[in-house]
Protein backbone atom coordinates (compact mmCIF):
# COMPACT_ATOMS: atom_id res chain seq x y z
CA UNK A 1 0.00 0.00 0.00
CA UNK A 2 1.36 3.43 -0.95
CA UNK A 3 1.09 6.02 1.80
CA UNK A 4 1.97 9.71 1.64
CA UNK A 5 5.51 10.51 2.75
CA UNK A 6 5.50 13.52 5.09
CA UNK A 7 9.10 14.22 4.11
CA UNK A 8 8.06 14.96 0.53
CA UNK A 9 4.65 16.52 1.16
CA UNK A 10 3.58 19.68 -0.65
CA UNK A 11 5.31 22.63 1.05
CA UNK A 12 2.15 24.66 0.60
CA UNK A 13 0.37 22.47 3.13
CA UNK A 14 3.27 21.24 5.27
CA UNK A 15 3.12 24.34 7.47
CA UNK A 16 0.03 24.38 9.73
CA UNK A 17 0.02 28.15 9.51
CA UNK A 18 -0.69 28.08 5.78
CA UNK A 19 -2.59 24.79 5.45
CA UNK A 20 -6.13 24.71 4.15
CA UNK A 21 -8.43 23.87 7.08
CA UNK A 22 -10.79 22.20 4.63
CA UNK A 23 -8.10 19.73 3.49
CA UNK A 24 -8.52 16.43 5.39
CA UNK A 25 -5.58 14.87 7.18
CA UNK A 26 -4.52 11.88 5.02
CA UNK A 27 -3.99 9.87 8.22
CA UNK A 28 -7.64 10.43 9.23
CA UNK A 29 -10.13 8.05 7.60
CA UNK A 30 -12.82 9.64 5.49
CA UNK A 31 -16.07 10.07 7.46
CA UNK A 32 -18.00 8.35 4.69
CA UNK A 33 -15.65 5.36 4.84
CA UNK A 34 -15.97 5.22 8.63
CA UNK A 35 -19.74 5.25 8.36
CA UNK A 36 -19.61 2.43 5.80
CA UNK A 37 -17.37 0.41 8.14
CA UNK A 38 -19.83 0.88 11.01
CA UNK A 39 -22.61 -0.47 8.81
CA UNK A 40 -20.57 -3.40 7.51
CA UNK A 41 -19.52 -4.47 11.02
CA UNK A 42 -22.90 -3.89 12.64
CA UNK A 43 -23.87 -7.58 12.39
CA UNK A 44 -20.64 -8.54 14.12
CA UNK A 45 -21.31 -6.03 16.91
CA UNK A 46 -24.78 -7.52 17.37
CA UNK A 47 -23.36 -10.93 18.26
CA UNK A 48 -23.80 -12.06 21.85
CA UNK A 49 -20.78 -10.89 23.84
CA UNK A 50 -19.35 -8.78 21.01
CA UNK A 51 -20.43 -5.13 20.98
CA UNK A 52 -18.07 -2.19 20.67
CA UNK A 53 -15.33 -3.96 22.63
CA UNK A 54 -15.01 -6.60 19.90
CA UNK A 55 -15.00 -3.98 17.15
CA UNK A 56 -12.27 -2.04 18.96
CA UNK A 57 -10.17 -5.19 19.29
CA UNK A 58 -10.57 -5.93 15.58
CA UNK A 59 -9.78 -2.35 14.62
CA UNK A 60 -6.47 -2.56 16.47
CA UNK A 61 -5.43 -5.94 15.04
CA UNK A 62 -2.67 -6.47 12.48
CA UNK A 63 -3.07 -9.70 10.51
CA UNK A 64 -0.58 -11.29 8.09
CA UNK A 65 -2.04 -13.60 5.44
CA UNK A 66 0.53 -15.81 3.71
CA UNK A 67 -0.91 -16.94 0.38
CA UNK A 68 -3.77 -15.45 -1.62
CA UNK A 69 -4.75 -18.62 -3.49
CA UNK A 70 -7.35 -21.32 -2.89
CA UNK A 71 -7.40 -20.85 0.89
CA UNK A 72 -6.22 -17.25 1.05
CA UNK A 73 -9.03 -16.07 -1.23
CA UNK A 74 -11.91 -17.05 1.13
CA UNK A 75 -9.87 -16.02 4.17
CA UNK A 76 -9.37 -12.52 2.75
CA UNK A 77 -12.98 -12.35 1.55
CA UNK A 78 -14.22 -12.69 5.13
CA UNK A 79 -11.46 -10.69 6.78
CA UNK A 80 -11.99 -7.78 4.36
CA UNK A 81 -15.21 -6.71 6.07
CA UNK A 82 -14.21 -7.69 9.62
CA UNK A 83 -13.05 -4.20 10.60
CA UNK A 84 -9.37 -5.03 11.04
CA UNK A 85 -6.69 -2.40 11.44
CA UNK A 86 -4.18 -3.79 8.97
CA UNK A 87 -4.01 -6.75 6.58
CA UNK A 88 -0.71 -7.73 5.01
CA UNK A 89 -0.88 -10.11 2.04
CA UNK A 90 2.17 -12.09 0.92
CA UNK A 91 2.06 -14.01 -2.35
CA UNK A 92 4.65 -14.17 -5.14
CA UNK A 93 2.33 -15.79 -7.68
CA UNK A 94 0.16 -14.41 -10.48
CA UNK A 95 -3.45 -15.21 -11.33
CA UNK A 96 -3.95 -18.12 -13.75
CA UNK A 97 -7.15 -19.20 -15.49
CA UNK A 98 -7.04 -22.52 -13.60
CA UNK A 99 -7.35 -20.55 -10.34
CA UNK A 100 -10.71 -18.93 -11.04
CA UNK A 101 -13.00 -21.80 -10.00
CA UNK A 102 -11.79 -21.80 -6.40
CA UNK A 103 -9.90 -18.50 -5.89
CA UNK A 104 -13.00 -16.36 -5.77
CA UNK A 105 -11.22 -13.04 -5.26
CA UNK A 106 -10.22 -13.06 -8.92
CA UNK A 107 -11.95 -12.66 -12.28
CA UNK A 108 -10.88 -13.46 -15.83
CA UNK A 109 -9.66 -9.89 -16.28
CA UNK A 110 -7.14 -10.49 -13.47
CA UNK A 111 -5.27 -13.32 -15.24
CA UNK A 112 -1.57 -12.48 -15.30
CA UNK A 113 -1.79 -9.95 -12.46
CA UNK A 114 -0.13 -10.30 -9.06
CA UNK A 115 -2.39 -12.23 -6.67
CA UNK A 116 -1.27 -10.06 -3.74
CA UNK A 117 -2.07 -6.84 -5.61
CA UNK A 118 -5.45 -8.12 -6.84
CA UNK A 119 -6.39 -9.34 -3.38
CA UNK A 120 -5.40 -6.00 -1.87
CA UNK A 121 -7.66 -4.19 -4.35
CA UNK A 122 -10.58 -6.43 -3.41
CA UNK A 123 -10.05 -5.84 0.32
CA UNK A 124 -9.88 -2.07 -0.17
CA UNK A 125 -13.04 -2.28 -2.23
CA UNK A 126 -14.87 -3.71 0.80
CA UNK A 127 -13.35 -1.47 3.48
CA UNK A 128 -11.62 1.81 2.63
CA UNK A 129 -10.50 2.22 6.24
CA UNK A 130 -8.35 -0.88 6.68
CA UNK A 131 -4.66 -0.49 5.87
CA UNK A 132 -3.69 -3.06 3.24
CA UNK A 133 -0.10 -4.01 2.40
CA UNK A 134 0.51 -6.21 -0.67
CA UNK A 135 3.89 -7.97 -0.91
CA UNK A 136 4.51 -9.73 -4.22
CA UNK A 137 7.23 -12.02 -2.90
CA UNK A 138 7.79 -15.30 -1.11
CA UNK A 139 7.30 -15.54 2.64
CA UNK A 140 10.24 -14.48 4.79
CA UNK A 141 10.42 -14.80 8.61
CA UNK A 142 10.70 -11.03 9.05
CA UNK A 143 7.20 -10.63 7.63
CA UNK A 144 5.81 -11.83 10.98
CA UNK A 145 7.20 -8.82 12.84
CA UNK A 146 4.56 -6.27 13.97
CA UNK A 147 1.62 -8.63 13.40
CA UNK A 148 -0.75 -9.99 16.02
CA UNK A 149 -1.97 -13.06 14.10
CA UNK A 150 -0.58 -14.90 11.08
CA UNK A 151 -2.74 -16.92 8.68
CA UNK A 152 -0.83 -19.63 6.82
CA UNK A 153 -2.90 -20.09 3.68
CA UNK A 154 0.00 -21.13 1.44
CA UNK A 155 -0.93 -24.83 1.76
CA UNK A 156 2.71 -25.91 1.56
CA UNK A 157 4.52 -27.93 4.23
CA UNK A 158 7.77 -26.11 3.53
CA UNK A 159 6.13 -22.70 3.94
CA UNK A 160 4.22 -23.84 7.02
CA UNK A 161 7.42 -24.94 8.77
CA UNK A 162 8.97 -21.55 8.00
CA UNK A 163 5.85 -19.78 9.32
CA UNK A 164 5.84 -22.04 12.39
CA UNK A 165 9.46 -21.23 13.23
CA UNK A 166 8.98 -17.50 12.68
CA UNK A 167 5.79 -17.34 14.76
CA UNK A 168 7.37 -19.35 17.59
CA UNK A 169 10.32 -16.94 17.66
CA UNK A 170 7.98 -13.93 17.71
CA UNK A 171 5.44 -15.43 20.15
CA UNK A 172 2.62 -14.94 17.63
CA UNK A 173 -0.25 -17.41 17.07
CA UNK A 174 -0.92 -18.68 13.56
CA UNK A 175 -3.92 -20.19 11.83
CA UNK A 176 -3.21 -23.12 9.54
CA UNK A 177 -5.31 -24.83 6.91
CA UNK A 178 -4.93 -27.28 4.07
CA UNK A 179 -7.15 -28.59 1.27
CA UNK A 180 -6.40 -31.23 -1.35
CA UNK A 181 -8.79 -33.44 -3.26
CA UNK A 182 -11.79 -33.88 -0.96
CA UNK A 183 -9.89 -33.53 2.34
CA UNK A 184 -9.22 -30.47 4.47
CA UNK A 185 -7.90 -29.56 7.92
CA UNK A 186 -7.77 -26.44 10.09
CA UNK A 187 -6.01 -25.72 13.37
CA UNK A 188 -4.44 -22.92 15.41
CA UNK A 189 -0.88 -23.10 16.74
CA UNK A 190 0.73 -20.94 19.41
CA UNK A 191 4.11 -21.84 20.82
CA UNK A 192 3.80 -19.18 23.56
CA UNK A 193 0.36 -20.27 24.83
CA UNK A 194 -0.21 -21.60 28.33
CA UNK A 195 -0.53 -25.03 26.71
CA UNK A 196 1.85 -24.57 23.78
CA UNK A 197 1.23 -26.46 20.59
CA UNK A 198 2.81 -26.03 17.18
CA UNK A 199 2.80 -27.48 13.69
CA UNK A 200 5.67 -29.83 14.50
CA UNK A 201 3.51 -31.40 17.23
CA UNK A 202 1.09 -32.39 14.46
CA UNK A 203 3.78 -33.36 11.94
CA UNK A 204 7.04 -34.17 13.78
CA UNK A 205 8.90 -35.26 10.65
CA UNK A 206 10.17 -32.63 8.22
CA UNK A 207 8.62 -34.26 5.16
CA UNK A 208 8.16 -32.53 1.77
CA UNK A 209 4.81 -31.64 0.26
CA UNK A 210 2.73 -34.58 -0.89
CA UNK A 211 0.49 -34.02 -3.87
CA UNK A 212 -0.65 -30.80 -5.50
CA UNK A 213 -3.87 -29.26 -6.69
CA UNK A 214 -2.52 -29.28 -10.25
CA UNK A 215 -2.07 -33.06 -10.28
CA UNK A 216 -4.59 -34.31 -7.67
CA UNK A 217 -7.31 -31.70 -8.00
CA UNK A 218 -9.27 -29.98 -5.26
CA UNK A 219 -13.00 -29.44 -4.75
CA UNK A 220 -13.52 -25.65 -5.10
CA UNK A 221 -16.19 -25.51 -2.39
CA UNK A 222 -13.82 -27.31 0.01
CA UNK A 223 -11.41 -24.38 -0.27
CA UNK A 224 -14.23 -22.02 0.60
CA UNK A 225 -15.31 -24.09 3.59
CA UNK A 226 -11.80 -24.46 5.00
CA UNK A 227 -10.95 -20.82 4.32
CA UNK A 228 -14.10 -19.62 6.08
CA UNK A 229 -13.18 -21.60 9.21
CA UNK A 230 -9.67 -20.16 9.05
CA UNK A 231 -11.03 -16.59 8.90
CA UNK A 232 -13.23 -17.34 11.91
CA UNK A 233 -10.13 -18.35 13.87
CA UNK A 234 -8.69 -14.87 13.36
CA UNK A 235 -11.73 -13.13 14.81
CA UNK A 236 -11.78 -15.67 17.65
CA UNK A 237 -8.13 -14.97 18.53
CA UNK A 238 -8.39 -11.21 18.17
CA UNK A 239 -11.83 -10.42 19.57
CA UNK A 240 -12.98 -13.55 21.40
CA UNK A 241 -15.72 -14.25 18.85
CA UNK A 242 -15.91 -17.96 19.54
CA UNK A 243 -13.28 -20.40 20.77
CA UNK A 244 -10.20 -20.82 18.56
CA UNK A 245 -9.04 -24.27 17.49
CA UNK A 246 -5.94 -24.13 19.67
CA UNK A 247 -4.97 -27.70 20.59
CA UNK A 248 -7.62 -29.07 18.25
CA UNK A 249 -7.50 -30.17 14.62
CA UNK A 250 -10.73 -29.93 12.63
CA UNK A 251 -10.85 -32.35 9.69
CA UNK A 252 -13.43 -32.36 6.90
CA UNK A 253 -14.19 -35.16 4.44
CA UNK A 254 -15.96 -33.37 1.59
CA UNK A 255 -17.07 -36.63 -0.02
CA UNK A 256 -19.60 -37.02 2.79
CA UNK A 257 -19.23 -33.56 4.40
CA UNK A 258 -18.30 -35.06 7.74
CA UNK A 259 -16.43 -32.87 10.20
CA UNK A 260 -14.39 -34.49 12.96
CA UNK A 261 -12.27 -32.98 15.72
CA UNK A 262 -9.04 -34.40 17.16
CA UNK A 263 -7.21 -33.23 20.27
CA UNK A 264 -3.59 -32.17 19.77
CA UNK A 265 -1.16 -31.91 22.68
CA UNK A 266 2.58 -31.47 22.94
CA UNK A 267 4.35 -34.61 24.09
CA UNK A 268 7.33 -34.64 26.48
CA UNK A 269 9.70 -35.57 23.65
CA UNK A 270 8.50 -32.90 21.24
CA UNK A 271 11.36 -31.42 19.23
CA UNK A 272 11.19 -28.75 16.55
CA UNK A 273 12.70 -30.17 13.33
CA UNK A 274 15.88 -28.44 12.22
CA UNK A 275 15.30 -26.19 9.22
CA UNK A 276 16.44 -27.58 5.91
CA UNK A 277 19.84 -26.34 4.79
CA UNK A 278 18.60 -26.33 1.20
CA UNK A 279 15.93 -23.90 0.08
CA UNK A 280 12.75 -25.38 -1.34
CA UNK A 281 12.86 -25.04 -5.14
CA UNK A 282 10.24 -22.69 -6.55
CA UNK A 283 7.41 -24.08 -8.65
CA UNK A 284 5.92 -22.94 -11.92
CA UNK A 285 2.34 -23.60 -13.00
CA UNK A 286 1.82 -25.44 -16.28
CA UNK A 287 0.01 -22.48 -17.83
CA UNK A 288 2.82 -20.08 -16.90
CA UNK A 289 5.46 -22.42 -18.31
CA UNK A 290 3.43 -22.82 -21.51
CA UNK A 291 3.20 -19.04 -21.82
CA UNK A 292 6.93 -18.64 -21.41
CA UNK A 293 7.63 -21.38 -23.93
CA UNK A 294 5.12 -20.09 -26.43
CA UNK A 295 3.02 -23.23 -25.80
CA UNK A 296 5.02 -25.10 -28.44
CA UNK A 297 8.00 -26.18 -26.38
CA UNK A 298 10.38 -23.65 -27.96
CA UNK A 299 12.82 -22.12 -25.52
CA UNK A 300 14.46 -18.68 -25.59
CA UNK A 301 11.07 -16.97 -25.78
CA UNK A 302 10.98 -13.31 -24.75
CA UNK A 303 14.61 -13.52 -23.69
CA UNK A 304 14.10 -16.58 -21.46
CA UNK A 305 16.72 -19.29 -21.97
CA UNK A 306 14.90 -22.23 -20.44
CA UNK A 307 15.92 -25.88 -20.50
CA UNK A 308 13.34 -28.53 -19.58
CA UNK A 309 14.88 -31.45 -17.67
CA UNK A 310 12.77 -34.61 -17.59
CA UNK A 311 13.95 -36.77 -14.68
CA UNK A 312 11.52 -39.64 -15.27
CA UNK A 313 12.63 -43.12 -16.30
CA UNK A 314 13.23 -44.01 -19.93
CA UNK A 315 10.04 -46.09 -19.95
CA UNK A 316 8.02 -43.14 -18.67
CA UNK A 317 9.53 -40.76 -21.21
CA UNK A 318 8.58 -43.20 -23.96
CA UNK A 319 4.90 -42.48 -23.18
CA UNK A 320 5.37 -38.80 -24.05
CA UNK A 321 7.44 -35.73 -23.16
CA UNK A 322 7.05 -31.98 -23.21
CA UNK A 323 8.53 -30.78 -26.52
CA UNK A 324 12.15 -29.75 -26.15
CA UNK A 325 12.75 -31.74 -22.95
CA UNK A 326 16.18 -33.19 -22.22
CA UNK A 327 17.35 -35.84 -19.80
CA UNK A 328 19.84 -35.02 -17.01
CA UNK A 329 22.54 -36.80 -19.04
CA UNK A 330 21.95 -34.43 -21.98
CA UNK A 331 22.59 -31.19 -20.09
CA UNK A 332 26.30 -30.95 -20.91
CA UNK A 333 25.78 -29.18 -24.23
CA UNK A 334 22.96 -26.86 -23.19
CA UNK A 335 24.95 -23.67 -23.80
CA UNK A 336 23.85 -20.45 -22.12
CA UNK A 337 20.95 -21.24 -19.79
CA UNK A 338 19.05 -18.95 -17.41
CA UNK A 339 16.74 -21.51 -15.85
CA UNK A 340 16.26 -25.25 -15.53
CA UNK A 341 12.63 -26.38 -15.25
CA UNK A 342 12.53 -29.91 -13.84
CA UNK A 343 9.75 -32.30 -14.89
CA UNK A 344 8.60 -35.65 -13.52
CA UNK A 345 5.21 -37.36 -13.31
CA UNK A 346 3.77 -35.37 -10.40
CA UNK A 347 6.50 -33.07 -9.08
CA UNK A 348 7.89 -35.19 -6.22
CA UNK A 349 10.96 -36.60 -7.97
CA UNK A 350 11.56 -33.29 -9.69
CA UNK A 351 11.62 -31.57 -6.29
CA UNK A 352 14.12 -34.05 -4.90
CA UNK A 353 16.34 -33.70 -7.99
CA UNK A 354 16.11 -29.91 -7.85
CA UNK A 355 17.05 -29.85 -4.15
CA UNK A 356 20.21 -31.80 -4.89
CA UNK A 357 21.14 -29.53 -7.79
CA UNK A 358 20.55 -26.43 -5.67
CA UNK A 359 22.72 -27.82 -2.88
CA UNK A 360 25.60 -28.60 -5.25
CA UNK A 361 25.41 -25.79 -7.81
CA UNK A 362 28.20 -23.23 -8.00
CA UNK A 363 27.70 -19.47 -7.90
CA UNK A 364 26.23 -18.12 -11.12
CA UNK A 365 24.60 -21.41 -12.08
CA UNK A 366 21.10 -21.34 -13.65
CA UNK A 367 18.10 -21.10 -11.36
CA UNK A 368 16.14 -24.33 -10.82
CA UNK A 369 12.33 -24.52 -10.88
CA UNK A 370 9.92 -27.47 -10.60
CA UNK A 371 6.90 -27.91 -12.87
CA UNK A 372 3.99 -27.96 -10.43
CA UNK A 373 2.03 -31.19 -10.80
CA UNK A 374 4.53 -32.56 -13.30
CA UNK A 375 3.72 -33.74 -16.80
CA UNK A 376 0.42 -35.11 -15.47
CA UNK A 377 -0.87 -31.62 -14.73
CA UNK A 378 0.68 -30.32 -17.97
CA UNK A 379 -1.30 -32.86 -19.99
CA UNK A 380 -4.51 -32.36 -18.03
CA UNK A 381 -4.46 -28.67 -18.94
CA UNK A 382 -4.17 -29.53 -22.62
CA UNK A 383 -0.58 -28.44 -23.27
CA UNK A 384 1.41 -30.30 -25.96
CA UNK A 385 3.06 -33.66 -25.35
CA UNK A 386 5.12 -35.35 -28.02
CA UNK A 387 6.49 -38.88 -28.35
Do residues 198 and 189 touch, judged by C-beta distance below 8 A? Answer: yes
Who's near 133: CB < 8 A, 6+ residues apart? 1, 86, 87, 88, 89, 120
Catalytic (active site) residue 213? yes
Closest CA to 58 of 239, 243, 285, 266: 239
Q: Is 154 helix (H, G, I), strand (E, B) or coil?
A: coil
Closest CA to 342 of 367, 317, 308: 308
Do residues 228 and 179 touch, judged by C-beta distance below 8 A? Answer: no
Kind and range of the H or E run holding 177: strand 174-180
Do residues 311 and 343 touch, judged by C-beta distance below 8 A? Answer: yes
Closest CA to 67 of 189, 198, 156, 166: 156
Q: Which member of 118, 167, 213, 223 is catalytic?
A: 213
Q: Is 178 helix (H, G, I), strand (E, B) or coil?
A: strand
Catalytic (active site) residue 223? no
Do residues 141 and 169 touch, judged by C-beta distance below 8 A? Answer: yes
Q: Is 100 helix (H, G, I), strand (E, B) or coil?
A: coil
**How many other C-beta atoms lie within 10 A of the C-beta of residue 5?**
7
The whole-angstrom separation of Cα 37 and Cα 55 is 10
Kindly list the catalytic residues: 213, 344
Amino acid sequence: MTTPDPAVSDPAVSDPAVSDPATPDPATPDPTALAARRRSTSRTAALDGAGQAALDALAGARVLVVGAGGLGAPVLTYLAGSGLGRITIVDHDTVDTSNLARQTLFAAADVGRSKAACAADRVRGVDAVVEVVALTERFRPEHVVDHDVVVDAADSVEVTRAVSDACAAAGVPFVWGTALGYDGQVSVFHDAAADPVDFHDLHPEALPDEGSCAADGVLPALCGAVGAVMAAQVTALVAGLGEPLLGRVLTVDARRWRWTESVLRRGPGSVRPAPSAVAEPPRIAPAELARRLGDDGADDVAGDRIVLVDVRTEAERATGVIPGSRTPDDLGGSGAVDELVVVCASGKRATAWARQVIADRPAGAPSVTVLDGGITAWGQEGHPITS
